[in-house]
Structure 1
Amino acid sequence: MRIICTVTNDLSHDQRMDRICTTLQAAGHDVLLLGRWLPGSPPLESRTYRTHRLRCRWHSGKRFYLEYTYRLRNYLRQQTAEVICAVDLDTLLAVSFLRSPDTKIVYDAHEWFSETPEVVHRPLIRRIWRTVGRRLVPRTDARYTVGPALAELLEEDYKITFEVIRNVPEQIEYTNKENSEGVILYQGMLNPGRGLATAIEALPLLPSSCKLWIVGSGPELEPLQRIAVEFGVSNRVWFAGFTPPADLPALTAQAWLGLNLLADSSPSYYYSLANKSLDYIQAGLPSVQMDFPEYRAIHVQYDVFSLLPTLSPTALAAVIRELIDQPDRYVQLQANCHAAARDLCWEVEAPKLLKIYSDLARQVTTSPARLPARSD
């Protein structure tokens, strides 16, 4: 089948979509991943599937969503496809205009879009996105999301079933870390609500041997740099900037502890399952996770995290100090990560993904369907 996947990011950071598209391409499908070009977007490395980035005049706010919907719809109308995968509600609207009997629509919910921090506290905008979701999601032909708790909530909201495809990495060679406090690692986007200011403010409460590596880029970079100066720890914080996904394992291997901190600012964050938490497990790296449902469920089953009950510098420093003061506990977490990594890997999730698309393949015609011609 020819499959087109649509996102609103610039494709450079999106490891989940890279894994999904690579897996589908390897299974014999013809895959195109559509995103958007942003000012400063890095060149994309060579991939096994095709990619294309749309250029927009606007990059945020209502103008962006309207423009991107228009440009995405018009681009898709020039393509042929048997399946279109819309990632989150901000691409599903454009894809829904292209429904035809010969084209199946898949909805991949990376998050509970109407309950994200950017939306949930704006009643009118939230109501619009909730209406979009409740009208369009039930009309899709297949749906999946990143975790069991979120799947249950989405099923309740949209009154239709969701499969679970966890955002887990491929298996890698496990390496033991020396049991001494050192590099504390955050990898991911520098967006509001990620607890990075808390991590910086916790450093003065920790031994001077503890360093914080922040690997990623985003709108919070400059405010975080100012906080590091304000708290006198700028020499202990390394802002590594954007790092290609292929280079992340080398940095992770140097870390002593991983961080995945989130503010309880929205239901989408509270019920999230961030890929970095699973990346840490695969790397055999103990990590601090928020005491939210998905992370607690994994911890109860595998005992791989130190759970943080509340997002504050003192609480975070206390959790980290416990690992420093209890080296046997740290070693146990390492061993548990090693055991859990055999289950929490892409090799386990990929067959579930392929089954969804193989079921769709049996429902479509043998020749790719041209999407409806432009009428404007």
Structure 2
Amino acid sequence: MRKKIITSAFSNLYTDQRIEKVCKTLHENGYQIELIGNDWGGASEMKRPYSFSRISLISKSLKTAYFEFNWKLYKELKNKADKHTILHANDIDALLPNYLIAKKLNIPLIFDSHEIFSEMPAIQGKMSQKMWRYLEKKVLPKLKFMITASGSYAQWFKEKYNIDPVVVQNSPRRMSFSIDIPENKPKIFLYQGAINPFRGIDKAILAMHHLDHVIFKIAGDGPRRKEYEDLVVKESLQQKVQFLGKLMPEELRKVTLTADVGMSIEENGGDSYLYSLPNKVLDCIQARVPLIMADLPEMQNIKRQFDVGEIIKDHQPGNIAEAINKVLNRGRKNYQDELEKASEVLCWENEEVKLLEVFQKASQ
């Protein structure tokens, strides 16, 4: 039985909830975990019940940081891996060194693709997209073990590279509580997550022109924050829109619990967004908060199973406002039965069973 797992990711580790949940599950089930990330974007103090380290990067640009990280990760894995090790690479920007060491030592590699990295909006039409696509094409068909975060992602990888990933959704742990729904006046409309393009945030800001007695709270940070703050000022919506900044997971959970309606209205900025099941959908469901959602496959699938909110017609601000009003008029209390059912199915306790089966097979 292989009991040692080296998990690696191009991440500062602190805010990556998927990696935290995966490592905790494996640790609690008797595996010896060594987690390797990096200090790109800072290295906040962190406590974990297993071993972890961050590779120090001197690169000033993300492009060179990827190369530096992969080279240094290769050397780390070469020193730390042995015949009793399972390698666990998170996303394609950590895959190559893991693949090379796994091949060299003839040990198992499990690849966890959190998204379709080569189809992310930020790299559309760039040289980096060609590079990641080339790596996918060369390595993915040769992998024995792969997991990914949505059924639509799994289907995409199967059609493209003839590999059949196990779906392990990034669901939160089950939250059991007696909810005391606050009677918010004004009502709270919440976005949580990175402030990136194609998230529908700018359209949701403009939707506030069509809403009364509603405050739009934006919890998160990212490259578009300044642009969206300027948009709020330009549209004279300062009284209706609040930027909360980046919150620690426990603080974010407290904010989520106070919301009357959440949002996940990603735009189709490429296949990675088209086929995603965003964390914020699953987080709101566990907090028993109804949502407005984009008309995309994974969110349609949830809506078909559970009446946890409304699908927007399109990204016109008026139609976004219409969906928000529909949820608010029905009221958070009247979504609770369906949210409760969804929370029992879409929780980490169900996902970790599939995760452990993959690692058990790799241990043989």
With the shorter chain as reference, the TM-score category is over 0.9
1:89-238 alignment, distance < 5 Å: 89-99=92-102, 100-122=104-126, 124-174=127-177, 175-178=179-182, 182-207=187-212, 209-238=213-242
**Once the two structures are superposed, what CA deviation does each residue of 1:245-292 show, in whole Å capped at 9, x if it has no partner?**
122221111111111121211111010011110111111100111110
Corresponding residue to 2:28 among 22, 26, 29: 26
Correspondence for 2:298 among 291, 294, 297? 294
Instruction: Name 2:273's counterpart in structure 1.
Output: 269
Give CA deviations for 1:215-262 in whole Å, capped at 9, x if unaligned: 112222211211111111223322222211122221111111111121
Deviation at 1:352, TM superposition (A): 0.9
Equivalent in the alignment of 2:350: 348
Deviations 1:9-42 (A, max 9, x none): 2112211111000000000111122221134443
- What corresponds to 1:35 in structure 2? 37
The CA distance in 1 between the partners of 2:39 and 2:111, in whole Å, is 22
Aligned counterpart, 2:63: 62
Q: Which moved more, 1:50-59 or 1:196-205?
A: 50-59
Shift of 1:101: 4.2
User: 1:355 offset after TM fit, Å?
Assistant: 0.9
SS at match of 1:35: strand
- Report the CA distance between 1:342 and its aligned residue: 0.7
Alignment RMSD (CA, Å): 1.8
Distance 1:39 1:303, change over 3 A: closer
Matches within 5 A, 1:319-358: 319-327=323-331, 330-358=332-360
**Superposition TM-score, scaled by structure 2 size:** 0.93
Structure showing greater relative contact order (alpha-carbon pairs closer than 8 Å, 6 or more residues apart): 1
**Percent identity among equivalent residues?**
29
Distance 1:197 1:332 in 2: 29
Paired with 2:171 and 2:304, the residues of 1 have a C-alpha distance of 18
The code of the aligned residue for 1:351 comes to V
1:242-321 → structure 2 map (5 Å cutoff): 242-321=246-325
Aligned AA (2:38)? R
Question: Which residue identity lines up with residue 220 of structure 1 in the other structure?
Answer: R
| Preserved CA contact (<8 Å) 1:33 1:51 | yes
How far does the alpha carbon of each residue in 1:101-139 deviate from its partner, in whole angstroms, 9 at most, with x for none? 4421111011111111122333x4333222211211122
Question: Which letter does structure 1 place at the counterpart of 2:243?
Answer: F
Give the TM-score, by structure 1 length: 0.90
